[in-house]
């Protein structure tokens, strides 16, 4: 569904991604692990067109997307939930959700499409806060709102950057449960995380990055078995 | 929904009040009211750029002046041109200019955007100064207001009150349309782009296209105000296209408050009435106007609309639902 092949991305002269490759199959929740500064977020930004890779290719449903603008990539069906959440603080929860529907109106919503009603049914705590301004939501609620707002654009894949960062353990569980619910609804997810103990509860497959390259690929059992890899690339 | 209902009701009441003014006011006061109405459109168009989109432009007068000059040139060079066609000429010129300049500016924001708009305004001013065979240069252009031909009847515009009604109706419709624009998804996305442009891109919004549409739209509104300005004074001078005309609208918007839709409308009333009042009592009116504006910018940065809203909140204990909250929370 989404195939990243040997991409090289730079910030000025700094060579951040040095041949990163990964792929996502439909309906999967894939987690990209690694320490700070190894290129995890840059991988997501490269897929989203915020950073343009100098080499390599990124194919989404067999279509090359390198060189496209972020809004064009979003319209193809890739949603992006950045690390800093970026909800619209001046809008209510409900208004934030409406902005997720392109143009603010949802026309011809099919039965499988995400609608505001469906979102409220699935995540009732958002419904309870529907009239609260974004500025007054807790970190966990903001994270949920950002993910759900992205869903209303009906993406086929969402890229989520460190969804549990800075959240209390109880809230981390809520956010991961929510991502699990989203995955079960058929949306493919690529999640960047540093907290592998949390990610292991929901992810199907894992990639580990180090110095701009993928150094491990495997499922939960393989990751648990690869103690050396975890010690070298994940543990502090 | 309730907010819209109230806003449209207020606009209708103001329009009806305006329609009665020729009965109450003297001819000198009517002239001033016509000027206020025209500048209201100019200030509201500027506020859509500054207050809503957060784009500080020092070049809004280029559209105002272009609309005024093109209307005047069309009247002087096309014999028998109707009032509507003369205005359409001015409007078309500003739409084309707004689109072209917008294409060149849309990737720039902040101080770069401000300086580039200033540069473009200076360019327009120099062209108007040097191309005196067309624009009249320092002498300006005098025109005679053509009659308003509606097909089934023709209304003479020699009567200033007739033109007042034309200005009132045109500006009234434009202001209702501007309010409607701020309530549409496009209008709201402009505010949200100011708040978080990157996020809008990730949601699939083409922010450059939105900014271009807004720039062209506000330029066209300023151009329409310029057309009416030329027709009202029956004269266009270089001051219509000078940077002074931009600073005037900037001050009007600031005095009224850029955080609300109606702030700049209030600002226009205060600015023009104050200017007339001070110029009646002293030759140094510009000095006192300057002092008042410095005082306001330092001590009442939110403008008069903020003062009114704060008073409303104090007496009625209810927070007003307006754009100002956007400012507070970002």
Of B196, B203, B326, the CB nearest to A74: B203
The residue segments making up the domain with residue B238 are 2-242
Q: How confident is the model at residue A195 (pLDDT cuts 50, 70, 90)?
A: confident
Set of chain B residues whose Cβ sits within 8 Å of the Cβ of A88 = 192, 195-196, 199
Distance, in Å, from the CA atom of B182 to the CA atom of B3, rounded to the nearest integer, reads: 12
Distance, in Å, from the CA atom of B158 to the CA atom of B190, rounded to the nearest integer, reads: 41
B329 touches chain A (CB under 8 A): yes
Predicted confidence at residue A30, as pLDDT, reads 92
Q: Using beta carbons and an 8 Å cutoff, which residues of A are at the interface with B?
A: 48, 50, 69-71, 74-75, 79-80, 82, 86, 88-91, 99-100, 102-105, 133, 135, 149-150, 153
Helix, strand or coil, per DSSP, at residue A208: strand
Quote the pTM value: 0.79
10 Å CB burial of residue B177 (0-12, 13-18, 19+) is exposed
- Give residue limits of the domains in chain A: 2-233
Q: Which residue of A has its CA nearest to B206?
A: A71
Distance, in Å, from the CA atom of A67 to the CA atom of A57, rounded to the nearest integer, reads: 10
B244 touches chain A (CB under 8 A): no
B192 touches chain A (CB under 8 A): yes
A90·B326 Cβ contact <8 A: yes
Strand partners, A78: A157
Has residue B174 been placed in a domain? yes
Has residue B277 been placed in a domain? no
For strands A14-24 and A205-210, give the pairing. unpaired
Of B195, B201, B325, the CB nearest to A71: B201
Architecture of domain A2-233: 3-Layer(aba) Sandwich (3.40)
Is B250 or A123 the better-scoring residue by pLDDT?
Answer: B250
Q: Which helix (H) or strand (E) holds B223?
A: helix B207-233
How far is C-alpha B209 from the geometric centre of its chain's CA atoms? 22
Has residue B290 been placed in a domain? no
Residue B234 phi, psi dihedral angles, 5° rounding? 55, 35
Has residue B107 been placed in a domain? yes
Predicted confidence at residue B218, as pLDDT, reads 95
Of A88, A104, A150, the CB nearest to B185: A104
Distance, in Å, from the CA atom of B120 to the CA atom of B118, rounded to the nearest integer, reads: 5
Query: In chain B, how many domains are there?
Result: 1
Percent of chain A predicted with pLDDT > 90: 12
Predicted confidence at residue B297, as pLDDT, reads 83
The alpha carbon dihedral of B98, B104, B107, B108 has a sign of negative
Of A89, A100, A135, the CB nearest to B203: A100
Has residue B205 been placed in a domain? yes
B203·A99 Cβ contact <8 A: yes
Distance, in Å, from the CA atom of A144 to the CA atom of A139, rounded to the nearest integer, reads: 9
Long-range contacts of A194-199 (CB under 8 A, 24+ apart): A194/A33, A194/A34, A194/A35, A194/A36, A194/A162, A194/A165, A195/A164, A196/A31, A196/A33, A196/A223, A196/A230, A196/A234, A198/A164, A198/A172, A199/A31, A199/A33
Residues 206-235 of B with CB under 8 A from A: 206-207
Has residue B296 been placed in a domain? no
Residue B34 phi, psi dihedral angles, 5° rounding? -60, -45
Set of chain B residues whose Cβ sits within 8 Å of the Cβ of A80 = 202
- The size of the A-B interface in CB pairs under 8 A is 60
Instruction: List the pLDDT tens digit at each of the 330 positions of chain B.
Output: 566 778 888 888 888 898 888 889 888 889 999 999 999 999 999 999 998 888 899 999 999 999 999 999 999 998 888 899 999 999 999 999 999 999 998 778 888 999 999 999 999 999 999 998 888 888 889 998 888 888 788 888 888 889 999 999 999 999 999 999 888 878 888 888 887 788 888 888 888 888 899 999 999 999 999 999 999 999 999 999 998 899 899 999 988 888 788 889 999 999 999 988 998 888 888 888 888 888 888 888 888 888 888 888 888 765 554 443 433 333
A71·B207 Cβ contact <8 A: yes
Predicted confidence at residue B1, as pLDDT, reads 52
Set of chain A residues whose Cβ sits within 8 Å of the Cβ of B324 = none
Per-residue pLDDT tens over the stretch A163-190: 888 777 777 888 888 888 888 888 899 9
Shortest Cα–Cα distance, B255 to chain A (Å): 24
Write the CB contacts of A22 (distance below 8 Å, at least 6 apart in sequence): A4, A30, A32, A43, A190, A207, A214, A217
CA atoms within 13 A on the CB side of B97: 27
B330·A89 Cβ contact <8 A: yes
B203·A102 Cβ contact <8 A: yes
Shortest Cα–Cα distance, A41 to chain B (Å): 15
Chosen for mutation from A45, A48, A68, A71 (greatest number of chain B CBs closer than 10 Å) is A71
Contact A163, A171 (CB under 8 A): no
A74·B204 Cβ contact <8 A: yes
Has residue B323 been placed in a domain? no
A70·B205 Cβ contact <8 A: no
Set of chain A residues whose Cβ sits within 8 Å of the Cβ of B3 = none
């Amino acid at each position: 569904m989404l195939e990243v092949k040997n991409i090289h991305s730079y910030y000025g002269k700094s060579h951040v991604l040095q041949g990163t490759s990964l792929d996502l199959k439909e309906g999967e929740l894939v987690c990209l692990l690694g320490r700070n500064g190894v290129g995890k977020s840059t991988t997501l930004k490269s897929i989203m067109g915020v950073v343009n890779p100098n080499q390599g290719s990124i194919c989404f449903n067999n279509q090359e997307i390198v060189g496209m603008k972020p809004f064009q990539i979003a319209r193809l069906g890739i949603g992006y939930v950045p690390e800093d959440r970026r909800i619209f603080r001046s809008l209510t929860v409900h208004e934030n959700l409406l902005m997720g529907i392109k143009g603010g109106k949802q026309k011809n919503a099919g039965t499988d499409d995400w609608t505001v009603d469906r979102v409220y049914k699935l995540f009732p705590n958002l419904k309870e806060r529907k009239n609260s301004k974004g500025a007054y939501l807790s970190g966990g609620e903001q994270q949920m709102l950002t993910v759900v707002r992205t869903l209303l654009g009906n993406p086929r894949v969402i890229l989520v950057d460190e969804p549990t960062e800075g959240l209390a353990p109880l809230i981390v569980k809520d956010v991961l449960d929510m991502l699990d619910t989203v995955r079960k609804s058929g949306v493919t997810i690529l999640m960047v995380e540093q907290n592998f103990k949390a990610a292991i509860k929901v992810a199907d497959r894992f990639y580990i990055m180090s110095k701009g390259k993928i150094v491990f690929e495997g499922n939960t059992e393989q990751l648990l078995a690869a103690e050396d890899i975890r010690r070298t690339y994940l543990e502090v | 929904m309730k907010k819209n209902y109230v806003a449209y009701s207020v606009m209708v009441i103001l329009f009806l009040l305006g329609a009665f003014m020729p009965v109450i006011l003297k001819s000198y006061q009517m002239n001033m009211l016509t000027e206020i109405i025209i500048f209201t459109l100019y200030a509201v168009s500027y506020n859509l750029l500054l207050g809503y989109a957060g784009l500080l432009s020092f070049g809004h007068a280029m559209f105002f002046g272009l609309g005024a000059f093109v209307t005047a040139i069309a009247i002087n060079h096309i014999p028998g041109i109707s009032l509507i066609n003369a205005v359409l000429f001015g409007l078309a010129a500003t739409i084309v200019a707004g689109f072209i300049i917008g294409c060149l500016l849309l990737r720039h924001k902040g101080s770069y955007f401000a300086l580039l708009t200033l540069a473009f305004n200076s360019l327009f001013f120099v062209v108007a100064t040097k191309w005196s065979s067309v624009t009249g240069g320092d002498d300006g252009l005098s025109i005679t207001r053509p009659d308003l031909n509606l097909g089934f009847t023709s209304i003479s515009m020699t009567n200033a009150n007739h033109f007042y009604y034309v200005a009132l109706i045109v500006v009234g419709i434009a202001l209702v349309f501007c309010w409607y624009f701020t309530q549409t998804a496009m209008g709201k996305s402009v505010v949200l782009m100011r708040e978080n442009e990157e996020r809008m891109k990730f949601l699939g919004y083409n922010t450059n296209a939105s900014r271009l549409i807004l720039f062209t739209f506000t330029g066209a509104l300023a151009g329409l105000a310029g057309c009416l300005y030329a027709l009202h004074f029956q004269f266009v001078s270089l001051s219509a296209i000078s940077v002074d005309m931009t600073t005037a609208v900037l001050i009007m918007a600031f005095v009224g408050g850029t955080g609300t839709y109606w702030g700049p409308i209030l600002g226009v009333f205060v600015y023009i009435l104050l200017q007339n009042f001070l110029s009646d009592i002293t030759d140094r009116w510009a000095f006192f106007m300057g002092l008042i504006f410095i005082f306001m910018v330092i001590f009442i940065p939110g403008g008069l609309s903020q003062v009114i809203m704060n008073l409303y909140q104090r007496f009625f204990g209810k927070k007003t639902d307006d754009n100002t909250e956007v400012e507070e929370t970002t």
